[in-house]
Structure 1
Amino acid sequence: MTNFLEANIEAEEQSSKWGAFSKVYRIRHRNNVRKWLIGVLVVLIIVMFLPWTQNIRAKGTVTTLRQEQRPQEVNTIIAGRVVKWNVKEGDFVKEGDTILQLGEVKVDYFDPELLQRTQQQIVAKQQSIEGYKGKANTAETQAKALAMARDLKLQSLDNKLLQQQLKVTSDSTDLIAVDNELSVYKRQIAAAQLMLDSGSISLVDFEKRKVGYQNGLAKRVSSENKLMQSRQELIALRIEKNSTVQEYTDKISKAEGDRFSSLSSVASTEADVAKLQNVYASYDIRNQLYYIKAPQSGQITKARKAGLGEMVKEGEMVVEIVPNHVQYAVEMFVEPMDLPLIDLGQKVRFVFDGFPAIVFSGWPSSSYGTFGGKVAAVETSVSYNGKFRVLVTEDPDEKKWPELLRMGGGASGIALLKDVPIYYELWRNINGFPPEFYKPSTEKGYAAKKEK
């Protein structure tokens, strides 16, 4: 031990013929830590000036841009019971294919000949309409005939009135003539009285003139009675004319009333026919609703009923259809503080669940397995989770999204922002500053494309 401690290792190494002696004791070894340190510092300085793409990360799910391409419920419009299933879960159907057949459960629709009986009611009502129309036409013809008879009757009464007026005029003239004659008789008898008193004529002559005067008085009374009778007949004819007008007016009004009553019955029956036709159409459509058909092509999923004879309610979901041909999109939810950095047409990179990828968030061009997208819509109202919803569609300038992509799958989105040096990005994160706000260069072109 003492000899070993006092030994001169360097002298021994020079005089030794074995190379292992120098390797074991590493007498001439030189340390390279300085070189490595300088090299690392140089590399770090170079890296600090490399470009770095600022980005915003957000989780999302695969969906579609259009509502009609998303999974939709197939509901039954009417209540019923399951009679027959034509598909099973997982089957692919085309638009119009029958999915399920239902049976009736309401007593009002149990009659198997319900449509035929309703059609018979419609035919009977239509025949009733024709009968009412015929009755209305008959009443109209009757009213016209009564109007013609009234006119003829009035013409006849007018002729009688004219004749009676002429008779009254004639009787008046006769009465005037009798009055004139009576005046003559009166003067003659006065003269005869003077002549009798003076003895110029005999009593016989005076009596003759007195008899003539008495006859004149009688004739005048007869003429007056005749004139009064003619006037009474004239008044009676006028009353008869008014009575005739009233009588025919009453008959014509009754005929018109029957006509309008028939027309009202026609309108009421036509309303009944329209109502029955509506009921018939409803029954016909209800018969078609027993067969639930696929609204679009797709895959059947989530069947809610099993077996036969089960009851379904109105509006209840039966199955769900996932459309075949969809335009995929990704809905992302971004934080409110990152919303001002999102704009239409902005580039986004995605990593879809189930598809391997190597991601360098700061160097998107160096990443592998990511897919490109463009922001298509940014909602202005906050969602249920306190974030804002953003819809991103496939970027036509990038490679296509995977064909095996399915709705509901997860996606990690990286919204690409401005290119900055790495040292700036480190400085920004250390100070807690937000990323750079900018407008994407493709915004105008994207907006023009949307308008087109």
Structure 2
Amino acid sequence: MLNLSKQRVNIPAIEKEVNSLNTLHSPKTARIVYRWILGIVIALLLIMFLPWQQNINGKGYVTALTPQDRPQNIQNAVAGQIARWNVREGDYVKKGDTILVITEVKDDYFDPQVLVRTQEQIQAKTDGIAAYKAKIEATDNQISALRQGLQFSLEKARNKVIQSQLKVRSDSADMVAVNRNFQIAKERLDRAEVMYKEGTISLVDLETRRLKLQEDQAKVVAQTQKLNISRNELINARIELSSVEADYRKDIAKAFSDRSTALSSVAEGESELSKLQNKYENIRIRRDQYVVRSPQDGYVIKTLKAGIGETIKEGESIVTLQPRQPELAVELYVKAMDLSLIAPGRHVRLEFDGWPALQFSGWPGTSVGTFGGSVAVVDRVNSKNGQYRLLIKTNQRGNENEKWPDQLRIGSGVNGFVMLQDVPIWWEIWRQLNGFPPDYLADILPEEGEKEAKK
């Protein structure tokens, strides 16, 4: 059997003589298993070349697309004490409906007639301002009259100066005439004395001429005094002209001072009036704030204060309100490594908690129970968990079967898949094993793809 000799054993003859060898054969089960394994391997190899759509998965929750549709806390504008509740948790309220009524807790507003009394103060201050304005008008009239009086007095003083000047001229002329007469009388007296010594005239004529000289000399003295008086009157007239303007300027300045005081009082009164009017409006608006109203239609989710008589501060949250028909969106959080592949408009598949779904992330067409959406907002900064937030809105171009359920509530959990390009399965497996990000080169939105094709 070991072929150690050149003579070979006759195997067929041995088989005929040994019957046990005829019972040996290859088992059929092994062939079947072999064929199954071979078929599975071939199928897996073929599957490796099937297309697989790359995606970025993330988790998040349902929210509202716009801030006005998200749950909000209603706050009171003024401090007060709870007097009455008009709603209960779960109630539906419309815009302007009363939620809570409070009473005043500050002693500045305890007086029920505080608005009336403030209005009286405003009226009194208004009358005071009107009186000051009347005083200003009267002062203006006084200043105008003083200015007119100044002009008249100046004209009068100027005329008096002119008259004094003319009188001085007249007296100066008279003075010249009197001096001339005096010189003539003196010359005649000198001639008379010579003639008297010669015996030509009598003593009476000489005495007469002496008297005439004395009279002319007296006239010279009188005229000199008169001229000096006229000159003094001219000086006094000029002084009076200057003093008249100074006196009127003083009175006008005093009138302007009174006017400025009145203007200051008007300004101060208007300032106080403005404060009183502001106080009046604040009190009126504060009284309107005693009733806390709903800012929009919605549902009362939770009351944050309870009881009657509890004191609340300004700006303290009272109830949580959910708007009636919010425009739903999904907050989805993805890793920073995948952020560069995501842009507004990218298609997203969503799986909501509470809605059964069979999800094949790489074959979205075969998925059951998922809903479509598109990326609306990509945050520019990361969140506290180090991931980036995406806002996903409903796909307006989707069919009716992809319409988001009406029973969705804000806060529900969501699993999302941002769909990218198509690659073979073997490529995706290789990428996942190596921890590489999805392929960036073919990451083009549908709209951008059409533009690239046109180029």
Shorter-chain TM-score range: 0.7 to 0.9
Q: Distance in 2 between matches of 1:383 and 1:172?
A: 111
Aligned to 2:9: none
* Distance (Å, rounded) in 2 between the aligned partners of 1:159 and 1:343: 97
What is residue 407 of structure 1 aligned with on the other side?
410
- The verdict on how the C-alpha distance between 1:28 and 1:58 changes in structure 2, with shifts beyond 3 A counting, is closer
CA distance in 2, matches of 1:339, 1:328: 23
Residues 268-319 of structure 1 deviation map (CA, whole Å, 9 limit, x = unaligned): 2222222211111111111111111111111112311111110111111111
Letter in 2 for 1:442: P
Distance in structure 2 (CA, Å) of the matches to 1:37 and 1:240: 139
- 3-state SS in 1 of match to 2:243: helix
1:386 corresponds to which residue? Answer: 386
In 2, Cα distance between the equivalents of 1:150 and 1:426? Answer: 109
Q: Does 1:136 align with 2:146?
A: no
Cα distance, 1:339 vs structure 2: 1.7
The answer to whether the 8 Å contact 2:78/2:314 transfers is yes
2:217 is the alignment partner of 1:217: yes
1:442 matched to 2:440:
no
Contact 1:344 1:443 in 2 (8 A): no
Note if contact 2:74-2:320 (Cα within 8 Å) is conserved in structure 1. yes
CA distance in 2, matches of 1:376, 1:180: 123
Aligned to 1:168: 168
CA contact (8 A) 1:345 1:446 kept: no
Task: Rate the CA distance shift 1:441–1:134 in 2: closer, same or farther, 3 A.
Answer: closer
Alignment gaps of 5+ in structure 1: 1-10, 12-24, 448-452
User: Aligned AA for 1:408?
Assistant: G
Q: Deviations over 1:150-199 (max 9, x none)?
A: 33333333333333322222211111111111111121122223333444
Deviates more, 1:306-315 or 1:414-423: 414-423
Does residue 422 of structure 2 align to residue 424 of structure 1? no
Q: Residue 341 and residue 153 in structure 1: after superposition, are their counterparts in 2 closer, same or farther (change >3 A)?
A: closer
Summarize the Cα distance change of 1:33–1:154 in structure 2 as closer, same or farther, 3 Å threshold.
closer
Three-state SS of the structure 1 residue aligned to 2:329 is strand
Q: CA offsets per residue over residues 32-78 of structure 1, 9 Å max, x none?
A: 22332333233223322222222222111111221111111111121
My pick for the range that moved more, 115-124 or 155-164, is 155-164
Work out the CA distance in 2 between the residues paired with 1:338 and 1:142: 86
Q: How does 1:219-258 map to 2 (within 5 A)?
A: 219-258=219-258
Shift of the 369–170 alpha-carbon distance from structure 1 to 2, 3 Å rule, reads same
Partner residue of 2:4?
none
Partner of 1:8: none
Q: Residues of 2 paired with 1:147 and 1:419: CA distance?
A: 98
3-state SS in 1 of match to 2:303: coil
> Which residue number corresponds to residue 16 of structure 1?
none
Structure 2 counterpart of 1:14: none
Q: Report if the CA contact (8 A) 1:353-1:411 is conserved.
A: yes
Equivalent position SS for 1:419: strand
Cα deviation for residue 443 of structure 1 reads 4.3
Which whole-Å deviations, capped at 9, do the CAs of 1:217-244 have from their partners, x for residues lacking one? 1110011111111111222222223333
Task: Flag the 1:429–1:158 CA change in 2: closer, same or farther, 3 A.
Answer: closer
| Shift of residue 435, structure 1, vs aligned partner | 2.1
Displacement, 1:423?
A: 2.4
Aligned to 2:187: 187
Contact 2:421 2:443 in 1 (8 A): no
> In structure 1, what is the Cα distance between the partners aligned to 2:36 and 2:162?
149
Structure-1 separation of matches of 2:427 and 2:233: 130
The change in CA–CA distance for 1:446 and 1:249 in structure 2 (over 3 A counts) is farther
Q: CA deviation at 1:348?
A: 1.3
**Residue 159 to residue 116, structure 1, CA distance change in 2 (3 Å):** same
SS state of the match for residue 407, structure 2? coil
What's the CA shift for 1:410?
Answer: 0.6
Residue 28 of structure 2 is matched in structure 1 by 30
User: Which residue of the partner structure matches residue 290 of structure 1?
Assistant: 290
The CA RMSD over aligned residues, in Å, is 2.5
Report the counterpart of residue 348 of structure 1 in structure 2: 348
Structure 2 contact 50–425 (Cα < 8 Å) conserved: yes
Query: Which TM-score applies when normalising by structure 2?
Result: 0.87
Corresponding letter in the other structure for 1:403: D
Q: Residues of 1 paired with 2:187 and 2:282: CA distance?
A: 106
Q: Which amino acid aligns with 1:30?
A: K
Alpha carbons of structure 1 residues 168 and 184: separation in structure 2 relative to 1, 3 Å: same
Relative to 1, partners in 2 of residues 1:406 and 1:443: Cα closer, same or farther, differing over 3 Å?
farther
Where does residue 39 of structure 1 map in the other structure?
A: 39
Letter in 2 for 1:134: A
Please give the alpha-carbon distance, in whole angstroms, between the structure 2 residues aligned to 1:318 and 1:49: 61
CA contact (8 A) 2:79 2:311 kept: yes
- Distance in 2 separating the partners of 1:381 and 1:446: 30
Q: Is the 8 A contact 1:343 1:440 kept in 2?
A: no
Residue number in structure 2 paired with 1:21? none
Instruction: Classify the secondary structure of the residue corresponding to 2:418.
Output: strand
Quick one: percent identity of the two aligned structures? 45
- Given that 1:182 and 1:213 are in contact with CA atoms closer than 8 Å, whether structure 2 keeps it comes out as yes
- Are the counterparts in 1 of residues 420 and 443 from structure 2 also a CA contact under 8 Å? no
Q: How far apart are residue 29 of structure 1 and its match?
A: 7.7
Amino acid corresponding to residue 308 of structure 1 in structure 2? I
TM-score w.r.t. structure 1 length?
0.87
What is the alpha-carbon distance in structure 1 between the residues aligned to residue 41 and residue 446 of structure 2? 39
Match of 1:20 in 2: none
Distance in 2 (alpha carbons) for counterparts of 1:312 and 1:415? 47
Name 2:16's counterpart in structure 1: none
Structure 1 CA distance for aligned equivalents of residues 227 and 266 of structure 2: 58
Secondary structure of the structure 1 residue equivalent to 2:380: strand
After TM superposition, the structure 1 stretch with the greater mean CA deviation from structure 2, 139-148 or 381-390, is 139-148
Letter in 1 for 2:424: P
Distance 1:306 1:433 in 2: 55
Match of 2:96 in 1: 96
Matched, 1:117 2:120: no
Q: CA deviation at 1:28?
A: 11
Q: For 2:178 and 2:116, locate their aligned partners in 1 and report how far apart those are by CA, in whole Å.
A: 92
